[in-house]
């Protein structure tokens, strides 16, 4: 079984500043994948970034990057130059196994509500 913990229910950041959202996970899988999803008020789940556990290099997507610490089972998301449109719930998730699926599918944390202050 996998567990994902997001310890920050809510974060606030000034527009144009940088913010880091924390996530820790636990898994017995040797091969797994980690994700950050964004859920704006529309409730759509939008993939932000993806990390393969076997890759040491941290994933980046434009203003979004991760700090993946495999030994510590930590997977934080850094948002640079925060914009008003970044305001949303952010969910960290894990997926076990090279072929995905398994007993748990995607396991989600409880989310962090990100507020952008203009």
Partner 1 sequence: DSGVTQTPKHLITATGQRVTLRCSPRSGDLSVYWYQQSLDQGLQFLIQYYNGEERAKGNILERFSAQQFPDLHSELNLSSLELGDSALYFCASSVETGSGNTIYFGEGSWLTVV
Q: Of 56, 57, 71, 99, which one interacts with partner 1 (CB under 8 A)?
A: 99
Decide if residue 70 touches partner 1 (CB under 8 A): no
State both tokens at 80: 């640079």
Decide if residue 106 touches partner 1 (CB under 8 A): yes
- Measured from the Cβ of residue 77, the count of other Cβ atoms closer than 10 Å reads 24
Decide if residue 50 touches partner 1 (CB under 8 A): yes
Give the burial class of 9: count Cβ atoms within 10 A of its Cβ; 0-12 exposed, 13-18 middle, 19 or more buried.
exposed
Q: Of 8, 29, 104, 113, which one interacts with partner 1 (CB under 8 A)?
A: 104
- Measured from the Cβ of residue 41, the count of other Cβ atoms closer than 10 Å reads 8
Count of chain residues binding partner 1 (CB under 8 A): 27
State both tokens at 47: 């993939």
Q: Of 7, 14, 18, 100, which one interacts with partner 1 (CB under 8 A)?
A: 100
Decide if residue 75 touches partner 1 (CB under 8 A): no
């Amino acid at each position: 079984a996998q567990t994902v913990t997001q310890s920050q229910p809510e974060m606030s950041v000034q527009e144009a500043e940088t913010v880091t959202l924390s996530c820790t996970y636990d898994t017995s899988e040797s091969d797994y994948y980690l994700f950050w999803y964004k859920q704006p008020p529309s409730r759509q789940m939008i993939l932000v970034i993806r990390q393969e556990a076997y890759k040491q290099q941290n994933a980046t997507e434009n203003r979004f990057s991760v700090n993946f610490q495999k030994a510590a089972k930590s997977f934080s998301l850094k948002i640079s130059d925060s914009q008003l449109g970044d305001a949303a719930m952010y969910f960290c998730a894990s997926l076990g196994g090279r072929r995905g699926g398994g007993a748990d599918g995607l396991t989600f944390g409880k989310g962090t509500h990100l507020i952008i202050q203009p």
